[in-house]
A and B are shown apart, each in its own frame.
Chain A
Amino acid sequence: MSVVSAEALRERPVEAVPEDAHDDGLAPRAKFLPSLGAVYRAQLSRARVARIPLLFVATFQSIGIMILMRGVVDQGGREAQAVVAGSAVLVVAFVALNLLAQYFGQLRAAGGLDHYATLPVPPASVVLGAAGAYASFTVPGTVVTAVVGCAMFDLPLTHLWVLAAVIPLAGAALSGLGAALGLLAPRPELATLLGQLGMSAALLLGVLPADRMPEFVQYARDLLPSTYGVEAFARTFGDHPDWATVLLDLGVCAGVGVASLAVATWAYRRAAVR
């Protein structure tokens, strides 16, 4: 069958060999950074199209929690700092952990990974691009929550700039965890469940002041990566923040981020070729 007009064929002469063909017939691989950028951009645009309502939900949820806690917790105290920091990081947990776990769970179940697996793109670009996009998507919600929280609990806005480190590092840790859960869960419902549980844990263990909890809960709290983001942020509300400890907390986030993103990349490879 031929539906190409004779003119069309004359205009573009027949080439015996494609111009970009290599000797071995292999097209070049996509490079790490450009493809990371392309995935990031596509995912951010996806999130903008489909996830804006969810960002509102995440923000209102955190603000609602702070309103509730205001009746229990004194203004300006250590507990107030923990509540505001916990609520702000909760937005990151909602989007980066919960939504990303759901996304990868569904993508894997529906065969959407085939699209990426048949492109010559490094697995790390796909995972990091998606994780990065989801983490960036939390920025407005986290900042709004932090500012509203500071106003409600009479906390200083002086060191709010630390969010510029807290969001990417806690975001890396939580989105890496979310991506790994989504890609490892055998069924999409399970990925959703794990993402929800992770977010609930971040809520209960991150927002509620740790001092009043039983000892085993405090251990569980130490195991959750979001805790270190919360602690780092909460410490900066004081008059003389202990920057070394803040750095240490952020270092834990970064470490967990690297490890969980590595696991997620491995899980992606495993899920892509069955």
Chain B
Amino acid sequence: MCAVRGLSKTYPAARGRRGAPGTPAVRATDDVRLDIRRGEIFGLLGPNGAGKSTLVRQLTGLMRPDSGSVEILGHDIVRYPERAARILAYLGQESTALDELTVSLAAETTGRLRGLSLKDARAERDDVLEELGLTALAARPLKKLSGGQRRLACFAAALVGRRPLLVLDEPTTGMDPVARRAVWAAVDRRRAERGATVLLVTHNVIEAETVLDRVAVLDQGRVIACDSPAGLKERVAGEVRVELVWREKAPMELSEVARLRERAVESGRRWSLRLAPDEARSAVAAVTGGPAFDFLDDFTLATPSLEDVYLALGGSRSGVKGLVKA
């Protein structure tokens, strides 16, 4: 369906202006290789600035890579970027182009610009708005809607005018659970009925675990892993995550606590540790059995998540906070 080989893009260094420091050159995608199969929901996961959006812009023909190739349904997108628009539907992060239109006109116009006749565009518009529960909002301008509703309306526009490949850049940002369900149901239906393929950009790990067939984990422009969520979790299957929350601060004077600190990722009062099961058991015993318990507010033991996978794969530790969206 979609084959990416050796895709690289470097943003040139920017010179500083009026005392502000310049920024060095950034390698936004670095020798990326991906194969997306027909009919799968494929995810790009990574923290902010990992290069997800840059990669997607190169796949959709919006940005020319410095080197490498992108082939979708056998078409060379680097050489003929305009063909991408005839193969895929893209939901970007911005809604500026549609903001001042009504939901209904946004969907209809997008369908018309995908080459549908007026009659077909209106029929598809009505179907999609009904499917996503937007019919009641059809006459409202996108600007007047809440963030989640606006996002759903943009998603509706992306669905009008069938495409075999949907490229969705964080489609459910700001949505309530009902809207999220509507999005995933619509995606699933298109896959089941038409064999549609979905490329999903997300930094929401929980979403990634539940909806994706396969996921590529990006870090600093490189694909550091690509597998099913279950397959990725197996890589850290031997480990357990221990979360410790201290009442005020950790009692560093206690040796058992000081030993744990070496392996902990700290964020304020919360420590997060990845340990082998027996290590985890003894760590919990140490902090719950001895004097450390008086300082402890809460603790949890959990099986590894994609976030742990990301850490285990060597993703930059400082980026972890950006990986999970609250």
Chain A residues within 8 Å of B, Cβ to Cβ: 1-4, 8-9, 12, 14-18, 20-21, 24-31, 34-35, 37-39, 41-42, 45-46, 49-50, 106-107, 110-121, 272-274
Also in contact, A14 and B192, with CB within 8 A (given A42-B105, A114-B62) = yes
B90 touches A118 (CB 8 A): yes
Q: How far is the CA of A45 from the CA of B103 in the complex (A)?
A: 12
Partner of A38, one of B57, B83, B109, B181: B109
A-B contacts counted at CB < 8 A amount to: 149
Q: How far is the CA of A15 from the CA of B195 in the complex (A)?
A: 8
Q: A112-B95, A120-B85, A274-B62 provided; 11 other pairs, C-beta below 8 A? A: A3-B184, A4-B185, A21-B164, A24-B73, A25-B73, A27-B86, A29-B86, A37-B112, A114-B57, A114-B62, A121-B85
A30 touches B62 (CB 8 A): no
Q: How far is the CB of A173 from chain B (nearest CB, A)?
A: 25
Interface centre among B87, B100, B102, B106 (most CB of A within 10 A): B100
The residue on A at minimum CB distance from B84 is A118
Interchain residue pairs with CB less than 8 A apart (28)? A1-B211, A2-B192, A3-B188, A4-B185, A4-B192, A14-B192, A17-B195, A18-B162, A20-B162, A24-B74, A25-B73, A26-B83, A38-B108, A42-B101, A46-B100, A107-B97, A114-B57, A114-B94, A115-B92, A115-B94, A115-B96, A115-B110, A118-B61, A118-B84, A121-B85, A121-B113, A273-B62, A274-B64
A110 touches B112 (CB 8 A): no
Q: How far is the CB of A131 from chain B (nearest CB, A)?
A: 16
A41 touches B193 (CB 8 A): no
Q: How far is the CB of B176 from chain A (nearest CB, A)?
A: 16
Instruction: Give the top 3 A-B pairs by smallest Cβ distance, nearest first.
Output: A112-B96, A38-B112, A115-B97
Kindly state whether residue B281 has any CB partner on chain A within 8 Å.
no
A4 touches B87 (CB 8 A): no
Contacting residues, chain B, for A114 (C-beta < 8 A): 57, 62, 90, 92, 94, 97
Q: How far is the CB of B241 from chain A (nearest CB, A)?
A: 23
B85 touches A118 (CB 8 A): yes
Chain B: interface size category: 35 or more
Also in contact, A25 and B87, with CB within 8 A (given A8-B189, A18-B194) = yes
Also in contact, A120 and B102, with CB within 8 A (given A28-B86, A42-B109) = no
Kindly state whether residue B115 has any CB partner on chain A within 8 Å.
yes
Also in contact, A49 and B100, with CB within 8 A (given A111-B92, A117-B85) = yes
Contacting residues, chain B, for A1 (C-beta < 8 A): 184, 188, 210-211
Q: How far is the CB of B306 from chain A (nearest CB, A)?
A: 15
Partner of A115, one of B84, B98, B161, B164: B98
Q: How far is the CB of B141 from chain A (nearest CB, A)?
A: 6
Contacting residues, chain A, for B184 (C-beta < 8 A): 1, 3
Contacting residues, chain B, for A4 (C-beta < 8 A): 185, 188-189, 192
The residue on B at minimum CB distance from A110 is B96
Kindly state whether residue B82 has any CB partner on chain A within 8 Å.
yes
Kindly state whether residue B88 has any CB partner on chain A within 8 Å.
yes
Contacting residues, chain A, for B115 (C-beta < 8 A): 27-31, 120
Contacting residues, chain B, for A110 (C-beta < 8 A): 94, 96
Contacting residues, chain A, for B64 (C-beta < 8 A): 273-274
Kindly state whether residue B204 has any CB partner on chain A within 8 Å.
no
A18 touches B164 (CB 8 A): yes
Q: How far is the CB of B191 from chain A (nearest CB, A)?
A: 9
Q: How far is the CA of A15 from the CA of B162 in the complex (A)?
A: 13
B100 touches A50 (CB 8 A): yes
Kindly state whether residue B81 has any CB partner on chain A within 8 Å.
yes
Q: How far is the CB of B56 from chain A (nearest CB, A)?
A: 10
Also in contact, A35 and B113, with CB within 8 A (given A26-B83, A26-B87, A118-B61) = yes
Contacting residues, chain B, for A17 (C-beta < 8 A): 195
Contacting residues, chain A, for B86 (C-beta < 8 A): 26-29, 120
B87 touches A15 (CB 8 A): no
Q: How far is the CB of B95 from chain A (nearest CB, A)?
A: 8
Also in contact, A15 and B164, with CB within 8 A (given A27-B114, A118-B62) = no
Q: How far is the CA of A30 from the CA of B117 in the complex (A)?
A: 9
Interface string of B102-129 (1 = CB under 8 A from A): 1001101110111101100000000000
Partner of B101, one of A24, A34, A45: A45
A12 touches B193 (CB 8 A): yes
Interface centre among B114, B141, B184, B211 (most CB of A within 10 A): B114
